[in-house]
Structure 1
Amino acid sequence: MMWLPGAIPVFLIPYFLVFTKFWILSVLALAWLAYDWNTHSQGGRRSAWVRNWTLWKYFQNYFPIKLVKTHDLSPKHNYIIANHPHGIVSYGVFINFATEATGFARIFPAITPSVGTLEWIFWIPIVRDYVMSMGVCPVSGLALKYLLTQKGSGNAVVIVTGGAAEALLCRPGASTIYLKERKGFVKLALKTGAYLVPSYSFGENEVHNQETFPEGTWIRFFQKTFQATFKKILGLNFCTFHGRGLTRESWGFLPFNRPITTVVGEPLPIPKINRPDKKTVDKYHALYIGALRKLFDQHKVQYGLLETQELTII
């Protein structure tokens, strides 16, 4: 969601530069990008004003989206909050952690959240300043390690560990996530001593319907071609999905207004090890999976799933 406005400067800056008398605006935007190039990897430049826009409150109320705390996060430590599932757009992560619409600062006082997203978004003039103002950072080792080691304590980086690939698993009623081989966030926690915190956004998979067409059909061929192109160029997966239109019963691309509840679990203490070996990473990865399953099972019925629903990890 945060990268959608990127289309505007991508087209307008070259247009102004070549076809209008306002070329100086494009030059200034590109000059600022070059001057400010490293900021996004060194803590960014957040704005409490942007995070508190009234717009986000309207957005939150549409679904509605809710943030639930099960345990306190002490400002004496730093944290990696891993979130699941990705869904199509990750509405829950955006509203709960990149804005104050659900009251993150009130629920977790003295904790500063930073949401990790794709690096290339910060190559786009203007858009990079917009996303940084909400406390968004690249999901890169350099940027995340800076936040967890160079900014004191009380910092929490939020990572959707399944990434864009997990979007392809998003369907109403599904509880399937990519996690078995996603161990980079655990290794980062060990290197920095940041506590691991599981979180799950119940309802994230319910707000869009995803379509997968039969193999052998022409539309399936184009679908797979687009998916491969998006993945190669942008690091994104192309999903064929739909939601509702402007009226409740119509077809369109607006998300269905169904509740999304992000439950933040108990912090898992992690020792600081400069060079953790594979055995140690695997150990804490298994502990994390156990904590996530426990969180899921404890809250699934309360937030709309059946008692028999299981979390599938692949």
Structure 2
Amino acid sequence: MKIEFAPRSIPLERRLQTASVAQWVFSFLALAPCCIGIFIGLLFTRFWLISVLYGAWWAYDWDRPSNGGRKIQLIRNWVAWRYMRNYFPITLVKTVDLDPTKNYIFGFHPHGVLVAGAFINFCTEATGFSKLFPGLNPHLMLLDLWFRAPFFRDYVMSGGLVASEKESAKYILSKPGGGNVLTIAVGGAREALDARPGAFTLLLAHRKGFVRLALQHGVPLVPVFSFGENELFDQVENPPGSWLRCTQEFLQRFMGVSLPLFHARGIFQYSFGLLPYRQPIFTVVGKPIQVEKKPNPSQEEVDELHQHYMEELSKLFEEHKLGYKVPEDKHLTFV
């Protein structure tokens, strides 16, 4: 394979963009085990008291990821996130105003490999969420497993990430006065196994838990489609039924993470590596679907709202696809 190296004359701006994305990929893939190693390793040094004190704090703060997390605006406004935004670039697109006196569920599609669009748009201020949607406080659900890593849990909570469990959703959606957004990557880790350029297959046909949540709390459902999310990485072929896909699905059921074998470009060359391609992402926030509160919705009511949601998501995709260079013959497929 011929390796295409990056030229030496790359502007500093682009180098900083690459560095910001590299640290984000490292954080996503390796920071949690590094934090666990540091926590354990400190116990065997003269700095053991750091881990002991943190352990006491951790036990006291154990339920925080399920109780709204702990945002730190300074971290959400880091300049590194603006460099990361410009690397692709990523744009947040508003189609209608949202009432800040209400709580909302944003259904984010597609998951992609590393949910780059969801992270930048809802866990940082790089794309101006607070300016586009004044009065709304965004949260993004993350697998509960990641909040069991010391130090790392505090880092991810600082951006607005919360545990992906019913108690967490209930805490946010039940807050009086409104102004809270709970973003759910509906397809989850399993959908990442189908994330590759040109793919428009969504794991949604049987995902109805978020719809039931909306009915139980009477909060509007907002479809969100992130154009370009699947264009960031190539993935090793893993058709359904293959040994690789079966292994990945087993790991996903056992561990909660699907471990897609993805690749794109490197830091100093463009031929292979784990950095995403420089492909633009346009995350389009659709109009809200108003939902009547039903504490104990029937299955028929859930199915009806779920069907309505899929129709609105398809409509959002069709209305905007040509503007974001999606071929006219491409349509969403729900599985």
1:105-126 CA-to-partner distances (Å, cap 9, x unmatched) read 0000101100011112112221
Q: Rate the CA distance shift 1:286–1:30 in 2: closer, same or farther, 3 A.
A: same
Are 1:21 and 2:46 counterparts?
yes
Q: Secondary structure at the match of 1:252?
A: coil
Name the structure 2 match of 1:174.
199
| Equivalent residue for 1:152, pick from 154, 177, 186 | 177
Kindly tell me the number of residue pairs found equivalent between the two proteins. Answer: 309
Which amino acid letter does the alignment assign opposite residue 246 of structure 1? I
Name the structure 2 match of 1:304.
325
| Equivalent residue for 1:36, pick from 48, 56, 61 | 61
Name the structure 2 match of 1:183.
208
Whole-angstrom CA distance in 2 between matches of 1:213 and 1:139: 27
In structure 2, the gaps of 5 or more residues are: 1-24
1:195-214 to 2 correspondence within 5 Å? 195-212=220-237
1:223-302 to 2 correspondence within 5 Å? 223-224=244-245, 227=248, 230-247=251-268, 249-302=270-323
Q: Secondary structure at the match of 1:159?
A: strand
Name the structure 1 match of 2:38.
12
The answer to which of 26-35 and 188-197 deviates more is: 26-35
Whole-angstrom CA distance in 1 between matches of 2:58 and 2:140: 21
TM-score normalized with structure 1 length = 0.94
| Equivalent residue for 1:112, pick from 114, 137, 145 | 137
In structure 1, the gaps of 5 or more residues are: none
Whole-angstrom CA distance in 1 between matches of 2:102 and 2:185: 21
CA RMSD of aligned residues (A): 1.8
Deviation at 1:277, TM superposition (A): 0.5
What's the % identity of the aligned pairs? Answer: 45
Residues 84 and 201, structure 1, Cα contact 8 Å, conserved in 2? yes
Q: Secondary structure at the match of 2:140?
A: strand
Name the structure 1 match of 2:71.
46
Deviation at 1:3, TM superposition (A): 4.5
Residues 190 and 249, structure 2, Cα contact 8 Å, conserved in 1? no
Name the structure 2 match of 1:64.
89
1:119-165 CA-to-partner distances (Å, cap 9, x unmatched) read 12112221111111111111211011110113530111000000000
Name the structure 1 match of 2:5.
none
Q: Rate the CA distance shift 1:309–1:143 in 2: closer, same or farther, 3 A.
A: same
Residues 3 and 121, structure 1, Cα contact 8 Å, conserved in 2? no
Whole-angstrom CA distance in 1 between matches of 2:246 and 2:49: 39
Which amino acid letter does the alignment assign opposite residue 284 of structure 2? V
Which amino acid letter does the alignment assign opposite residue 188 of structure 1? L
Are 1:129 and 2:150 counterparts?
no
Which amino acid letter does the alignment assign opposite residue 73 of structure 1? L
Whole-angstrom CA distance in 1 between matches of 2:235 and 2:246: 17
Q: Secondary structure at the match of 2:225?
A: strand
Deviation at 1:246, TM superposition (A): 2.2
Which amino acid letter does the alignment assign opposite residue 98 of structure 1? C
Which amino acid letter does the alignment assign opposite residue 307 of structure 2? A
TM-score normalized with structure 2 length = 0.88
Are 1:102 and 2:119 counterparts?
no
1:154-185 CA-to-partner distances (Å, cap 9, x unmatched) read 11100000000000111101100000100000
Deviation at 1:228, TM superposition (A): 5.0
Deviation at 1:237, TM superposition (A): 0.4
Q: Secondary structure at the match of 1:267?
A: coil
Deviation at 1:227, TM superposition (A): 2.1
Whole-angstrom CA distance in 2 between matches of 1:247 and 1:300: 33
Residues 189 and 270, structure 1, Cα contact 8 Å, conserved in 2? yes
Name the structure 1 match of 2:7.
none
Whole-angstrom CA distance in 2 between matches of 1:177 and 1:291: 14
Q: Rate the CA distance shift 1:228–1:290 in 2: closer, same or farther, 3 A.
A: closer
Q: Rate the CA distance shift 1:195–1:277 in 2: closer, same or farther, 3 A.
A: same
